[in-house]
A and B are shown apart, each in its own frame.
Chain A
Amino acid sequence: MNATVESRVDTAIIDEIISRHKGKPGELLTVMEEVQEASEFKFLDDASMEYLSSQTRVPLSRIYSVATFYSFFNLKPQGKHSLIVCRGTACHTKGSKILLDDLALLPGCKEAFDSGETTFTSEDKQITVKTVACFGQCALAPVVAVDGVIYSNVTSEQIKKLLQNLQEDNKDENFRLS
């Protein structure tokens, strides 16, 4: 767990993903998603993109262009856990910004979001914090998703607890909060 996160996805895995989707229109997005999923740190590294491009003959710049367009693609290594705060209007008016500020407990997190970033990964690669435009769970605002599980009507107390459990790898504790 240090700075060397050159998590290049095994080319055999990429080959397998490509062959499984070959010929399907729009395959590129699906293939890219699966390659990202196969990567240890859930991101598309440049070497994997290069390999993907050489095998599919899709220009590398186009793969990059697509990867930067959609919020689901990560160009940087992601943390082991994800904590996503909804900044949709309903959540926003019900205090999602405060929740984001509460995450200042994670060093560097508040600064990143204040400077306009929409994603932040802790240095130890334990947690990635993101915001999302809207979860479509507005009736439950404010909403937070932790490793894909939705938490509703989240309070400052709760989000701090959620964060702490993730930091301590105590995921099961979190389920009790949902």
Chain B
Amino acid sequence: MSANYLLKRADFIFKNDNDWEDVLKKSLSRTPNELINELISSELKGRGGAGFPTGLKWKLSSEEKADEKFVICNADEGEPGTFKDREILSRVPFKVLTAIAICGYVIGAKKGFIYLRGEYFFLKNELNKAISEFEFFCKEIKFDFSIKIFMGSGAYICGEETALFESMEGKRGEPRNKPPFPSVSGYMGKPTVINNVETLAHTFTIFKYGSKRFYDLGVQFSRGTKLFSVSGDTPKPGIYELELGMSLSDFVEEFGDDDTKAVQVGGASGFLVPRKKFAETSIGFQGKLVGISLPTGGSMMIFNSSRSMYNVLDNYLNFFAEESCGQCTPCRVGCQQLLRGIKAVKRGEKNAQYLDKLLKLAETMQFTAKCGLGQSVANSFASIVENFREEMIY
């Protein structure tokens, strides 16, 4: 069943942001409830994590009673193959700052933070300049809000929201048990809205043009546009804003090199789609594939026939074995077993049936790991092993 949906480019995110003062003023003149309803009717879902409805997230935090609340922009873009947030922050920072402030207004927070990936240190100075200008304007219009940058220190797991809080509190970035959820108890134990950079940029679009403009893009359950970081075997690597709901065959037609063997959707924690399934796969929150609903989504890595899928999987598993925080058993030990397991099969030390045991293990990791990292290892593992089993063995 083909999605039959053509690739539609869009241009919202990177369009100039020099009207941010107006968007901020206009938004602050509306009630928090109006703004929440605007978001809810846009059906915007988180662009970085689990695809949680953004409007609902803001609503939940706004309903909490607390002496202090926080807004955090998650710019810990660590998913291999993803580089869209870097572009947003360097090209249209004011959209993000405005969105953080509007969120603060909605939920009743006076402080916002940008958790910036340590590797993006080169963005810090420009971003701080933008923040100064932004805060100055806030003061002028008598809106009490401040934004600070918190630099990450090089740990992939800190993209997980509760690990990010721990890190900001000066601790090891180890994910917390949920519940409680951030909307109730986040940074410093206070109600916190944490949104991905791109999600915040989309809220700017919605507050500027109204929810209908956004809702009319994309398809049912997957409204609006999305940034895709295209890399791998493609003649045109880069960042593209596309409407959600496209089919993967259309995507490959546009970006492939005529020899595309598979596409990894969603980075290391995403899914590998082999050529024979391109037509039936569409990119969105619903459907056969939930590619972009994975942590720091939007990564599209294209592999041509010269690439060994075993090498790709080996690379992912190395990554996970290193970057797991090490707290919970399924993730800490499971990643090592998957990694050593495929090596053993490749070397002939374990027979091919051992892959089935590993597939079951990956499923257990998905059911039992403490956080999204461990739960999502199964995605790439199962999709690669199931679709390229012979490459794993020979």
Q: A residues engaging B (CB < 8 A)? A: 25-30, 33, 62, 65-66, 69-73, 87-90, 92-93, 118, 132-141, 148
Contact = CB atoms under 8 A, between A and B. Distances in A.
Nearest to A88: B80
Given A29-B170, A133-B80, A89 B154 contact: no
B80 A89 contact: yes
Contact of A141 (B118, B188, B231, B311): B231
B161 to A, nearest CB: 15
Nearest to A134: B80
Interface in B290-314: 299, 301, 303, 307, 311-312
Interface residues of B, number: 51
A141 B234 CA distance: 11
B351 interface: no
A69 B172 CA distance: 6
A138 B301 contact: yes
B83 A28 contact: no
B319 interface: yes
Nearest to A90: B231
B14 to A, nearest CB: 15
B60 to A, nearest CB: 23
B264 A89 contact: yes
B307 A138 contact: no
A26 B170 contact: yes
B315 A89 contact: yes
Contact of B81 (A28, A65, A90): A90
A132 B119 contact: yes
Contacts of A140: 237
Nearest to B313: A89
A178 to B, nearest CB: 13
Contact of A139 (B83, B120, B169, B316): B83
Nearest to A141: B231
Contacts of A92: 311-312, 315
A33 B268 CA distance: 29
A96 to B, nearest CB: 9
Contacts of A90: 80-81, 231-232, 301
Nearest to B315: A92
B116 to A, nearest CB: 11
A134 B78 contact: yes
A84 B239 CA distance: 24
Nearest to A118: B322
B79 A134 contact: yes
Contact of A89 (B153, B188, B301, B322): B301
A132 B319 CA distance: 10
B230 interface: yes
A134 B154 CA distance: 10
